[in-house]
Structure 1
Amino acid sequence: MTTRMPTLYLSHGAPPLADDVRWKHQLADWAGGLARPTAVLVVSAHWEDAPLTVGATADGVALTYDFWGFPQRYYDVVYPAPGAPGLDRRVRDLASGPGVPLRQDPLRGLDHGAYVPLKEMYPDADVPVLQISMPTLDPAELLELGRRLAPLREEGVLIVGSGFTTHNLRGMSRAPDGAPPHWSAEFDDWVDRAVADHDVDSLVDFERKAPAAAIAHPRSDHFAPLFVAMGAALDGHESSTATVDGFWYGLAKRSFQFE
């Protein structure tokens, strides 16, 4: 019998976050507490493309190293997870329709918003993974996308929105364990409380409702994947858990699991 899966929003960080031993253990422990998924469907902050686009489904497609200026070892990382062509078809069935076009990019491998956390969660790379683009940054539209994809949970698919709870690279702290800037701490606390209260309306309107929203997210691409994960869990029986907290160079690593 297939286990109904939760949905996740996780803060993935830049490639060097994988050097943070505590974060690696947090992700490994998190995945260890989940039922084994039949596949993982990822929406990452690092792939915006409209209309909704499905990434590579074949095995062996190279990763997308979508970052610059890092030491070579970050470009030597591999994550040969199998493709998920069956999931590709299900996404097409659920997400496409009148007024909702969909296309495919068969050469687009997983980007670091997908493979960096998955390498810690499923290090054997033995779970099929499919990445889809984020077709908009509009929270309401992303909630609706999540709702459309929700039936995949009953099929054992783990839906993951990968971003960062606060993301202002110019405002980062100078040390990985330094005290977070006040804007990062305030926004992180607000999001934690809003998710715990299931205050979807405030979250959708976060740019006006959240403290320091414009500083915490000069652009909302890293917060937007939250709405896909949350939308896929809005079935009238939702519950949520903050699974990872803390800060890295002042940016909030807070992550959530939606049941």
Structure 2
Amino acid sequence: MPARPGAAFDAFLESTAPSAAERRDWTPEDGPLPALYLSHGAPPLFDEAEWMAQLFAWAQGLPRPKGILIVSAHWEAAPLMISSPAAATPLVYDFGGFAERYFSMRYETPDATAMARRVAAAMPDSEPLHQHASRGLDHGAWVPLKVMYPDADLPVLQLSIPTHDPDRLMAIGRRLRPLREEGYLVIGSGFMTHGLPFVDFRHPEKVPGWSADFDVWAAEAIARGDIGELARYRSQAPGMPYAHPTVDHYVPLFVTYGAATDPEQAATTVVDGYWFGLSKRSFQLN
């Protein structure tokens, strides 16, 4: 436990975050923005200087998007829903046991009504999009975005996960693909391994075999662009079910793959390594 929760985040805001102003806006000449899958952490991300630097550098290397659509592991809801587009919608503090500071953090993004209309128009009659009147961003969205886009000056919307079925999630992602061509960033937010009940928090340096084995399996499939293998994770992935006692943190990657221009391409891993033994593997596809 750090002496002052979020001290690394304070240092980041002072020394690193101001350079976000140097980013140039996306233009059509840039082509489609990539589709991202990121391991999002939780409030302790704000105590991890290296991890924050990696996420910020990732965003720094991309043109500044027109807006962000993010699918978080922490909103499983059917039918398919989208968060409130109102400016400065209050956040969802869907965690417990952390320092009080994290329950007072804000991420007050601008109005996203126009973006919400665009996302709704992308969905077919068989997968209509329902507008949640008041739901804000949960920690699977706002925690990494406070680091990647610290100025909170972009419209952000969150999409629910209505199913765990890879094919259906891929289909949702395909409907979102044109948004990338229009300058919107599409993100699936989860955690490459998430066996929290089996983590030894007394020894943060220890990487359990189930986590390492699953990560190697996923890395190899991602490098091959083998979506079929990734979809067979329940039966093929080593380390199951310990790596994912529930699969909510894994399945957002299928939205990412669906949104990619060529889902069978080799993805580019941007962040790897472990946090308390959990794989932080995060990647992008064009």
Scaled to the shorter chain, the TM-score interval is over 0.9
Task: Report what 2:169 is aligned to.
Answer: 142
Residue 16 of structure 1 aligns to which amino acid in structure 2? P
1:163-216 deviation digits (Å, cap 9, x = unpaired)? 000001111132574121010001011111101100010111111111112110
Q: Is the 8 A contact 1:177 1:247 kept in 2?
A: no
The reply to whether residue 26 of structure 1 matches residue 54 of structure 2 is yes
Residue 216 of structure 2 aligns to which amino acid in structure 1? D
Q: TM-score, normalised by structure 2?
A: 0.87
The reply to whether residue 219 of structure 1 matches residue 219 of structure 2 is no
* DSSP 3-state at the match of 2:158: strand
Task: Report what 1:169 is aligned to.
Answer: 196
Alignment of 1:169-208 (within 5 A): 169-175=196-202, 177-208=204-235
Residue 84 of structure 2 aligns to which amino acid in structure 1? A
Closer/same/farther in 2, CA of residues 84 and 234 from structure 1, 3 Å limit: same
The number of aligned residues is 258
Residue 60 of structure 1 aligns to which amino acid in structure 2? A
The reply to whether residue 100 of structure 1 matches residue 113 of structure 2 is no
* DSSP 3-state at the match of 1:92: helix
Pick 1 or 2: higher relative contact order, CA cutoff 8 A, min separation 6. Answer: 1
Give distance in 2, aligned partners of 1:80 and 1:189: 37
Whose radius of gyration is greater, 1 or 2?
Answer: 2
Give distance in 2, aligned partners of 1:19 and 1:45: 21
Task: Report what 1:155 is aligned to.
Answer: 182
Task: Report what 1:17 is aligned to.
Answer: 45
The reply to whether residue 245 of structure 1 matches residue 275 of structure 2 is no
1:65-117 deviation digits (Å, cap 9, x = unpaired)? 111222211101111111311111111111231x2232111210011000000
The reply to whether residue 59 of structure 1 matches residue 87 of structure 2 is yes
Closer/same/farther in 2, CA of residues 147 and 236 from structure 1, 3 Å limit: same
Give distance in 2, aligned partners of 1:183 and 1:236: 27
Q: Is the 8 A contact 1:176 1:248 kept in 2?
A: no
Show structure 2 runs of 5+ residues with no match: 1-26
Give distance in 2, aligned partners of 1:175 and 1:33: 36
Q: Is the 8 A contact 1:42 1:160 kept in 2?
A: yes
Alignment of 1:29-48 (within 5 A): 29-48=57-76
Give distance in 2, aligned partners of 1:83 and 1:248: 34
Residue 72 of structure 1 aligns to which amino acid in structure 2? E
* DSSP 3-state at the match of 1:131: strand
Give distance in 2, aligned partners of 1:117 and 1:176: 24
* DSSP 3-state at the match of 1:140: helix
* DSSP 3-state at the match of 2:241: helix
Closer/same/farther in 2, CA of residues 239 and 194 from structure 1, 3 Å limit: closer
* DSSP 3-state at the match of 1:187: helix
1:116-151 deviation digits (Å, cap 9, x = unpaired)? 000000111111111111111111111111011111
Q: Is the 8 A contact 2:224 2:266 kept in 1?
A: no
Q: TM-score, normalised by structure 1?
A: 0.96
Aligned-pair Cα RMSD in Å? 1.4
State the shift of 1:254 in Å.
0.5
